[in-house]
Amino acid sequence: MRRYERLEHIRRMDPYRQATEIYRLSSAYEFPWDYTRALELALYRTYAVPRIGRLLAETAELTDRTQKRYDDTVLLLDAIVEHGFGSAQARTAVRRINRMHRSYDIPDDDMRYVLCTFVVIPRRWIDAYGWRRLSQHEIVASTVHYRTLGRHMGIKDVPRSYEEFESCLDAYEEAHFGWDEGARRVSDATLGLMASWYPRPLAPVLRTATLALLDEPLLHAFRYTPPSAATRAWVRRALRLRGRAVRLLPPRGAPHFARQNQEIRSYPDGYRLADLGTRPVPGLRGCPVRRPD
């Protein structure tokens, strides 16, 4: 397969009727690493809305059980992408997501904003750091995929186009980003989790590199000292060089789903979708749905 052959195939597909199929090709074949990083950043941004960050701090899901909450979120969203909305796996994942959210009084505005981050942040990340920019077909397909997820989650007034998603995200962040002590604890725990995936001596470097990727509103909301301009330029240049290097490699022949990422660590013996999002039960091991070798 030639480097751009899959993109040519995507452009022959219908981004409305085949939205999830296109999104799967884009996220599991073309940009698996970039989508993982971008969706991490998308979820991280939501903590800067004090109402969201405070709730996450009060539940302790992202301070005391950071790795499990990360894993459960990734695995539930990944099941929908891998199997499609009509599958039993996706229906189970959506039920688990809805049950988790029903446990708390979450305003529709916040739910809509989180959905917006899933659409907008990956496009911005890939256009900045990917080996190519997203095509219009991929942008439309991602929009339709997450509109469908929003419908299954019962979110009201979901934006209809990518441009509406982007406008909604930007306006919401401008109006709602702000300081909250609990949100800062959630942010620190998340940064610590990301550093824990790599050798301990690299932790300070990784924290600085992550902060270098945050924009001024995020840094201000969490009251982080901004990295130097030179550090920010170096980190972003390194990511752009990575994208150029990937462009020179052969295209991926097999899909790489988020469940295969080395960052997923809570279920070495496998997992069941119906059990995700629950608090860990001492002594519970092997589940029927297993991660591939």
Domain that holds residue 27: 18-275
Question: For residue 279, what pLDDT is reported?
Answer: 64
Angle, in degrees to the nearest 10, between helices 66-83 and 88-102: 140
Q: Is 288 within the bounds of a domain?
A: no
Q: With pLDDT > 90 as the criterion, what percentage of the chain qualifies?
A: 87
In a domain, 38, yes or no: yes
Q: Over 70: is that where the pLDDT of 285 sits?
A: no
Nearest to 44 by CA among 227, 260, 188, 226: 188
Q: What is the pTM of this model?
A: 0.92
pLDDT digits (tens, 9 = 90+) for 192-211: 999 999 998 988 999 999 99
pLDDT-based confidence at 84, cuts 50/70/90? very high
Is residue 149, in this structure, part of any structural domain at all? Answer: yes
Identify the weakest region by mean pLDDT among 87-91, 248-252, 275-279: 275-279
Looking at the DSSP bridge assignments, the partners of residue 200 are: none
Taking all residues of the chain, what is their mean pLDDT, rounded to a whole number?
93
Q: Which stretches of the chain are DSSP H helices?
A: 5-11, 19-25, 32-46, 50-59, 66-83, 88-102, 108-129, 136-152, 162-176, 181-196, 203-212, 216-222, 229-247
The count of domains in the chain is 1
Please report whether residue 24 resides in a domain.
yes
Average pLDDT over residues 172-197: 96
Contacts with 6 (C-beta within 8 Å, 6 or more apart), sequence order: 25, 29, 30, 251
CB 242, CB 129: distance < 8 Å: yes
Q: Is residue 6 part of a domain?
A: no
Per-residue pLDDT, 287: 37
Alpha-carbon distance 177 to 189, whole Å?
19
- pLDDT band, residue 257 (cuts 50/70/90): very high
Supply the pLDDT for residue 103.
80
Considering only 98-107, 139-148, 278-287, which range has the smallest mean pLDDT? 278-287
Q: What average pLDDT does the segment 214-228 reach?
A: 96
Residue 8 falls within a domain, yes or no?
no
Residue 151 near residue 203 (C-beta atoms within 8 A): no
Residue 67 lies in a domain: yes
Average pLDDT over residues 272-279: 85
Lowest mean pLDDT among 40-49, 161-170, 238-247, 275-284: 275-284
Integer CA distances (angstroms), 84 to 23, 87, 88, in order: 10, 6, 9
Q: What is the dihedral of CA 111, 39, 120, 22, to 10 degrees?
A: -110
pLDDT band (50, 70, 90) for residue 177: very high
pLDDT of residue 278: 76
Segment 92-116 shows an average pLDDT of 92
pLDDT tens-digit readout, 116-172: 999 999 999 999 999 999 999 999 999 999 999 999 999 999 999 999 999 999 999
Q: Residue 136 falls within a domain, yes or no? A: yes
pLDDT of residue 61: 81
pLDDT of 70 = 94
Place of tokens 């989790």: 193
Q: How much of the chain exceeds pLDDT 70, in percent?
A: 95
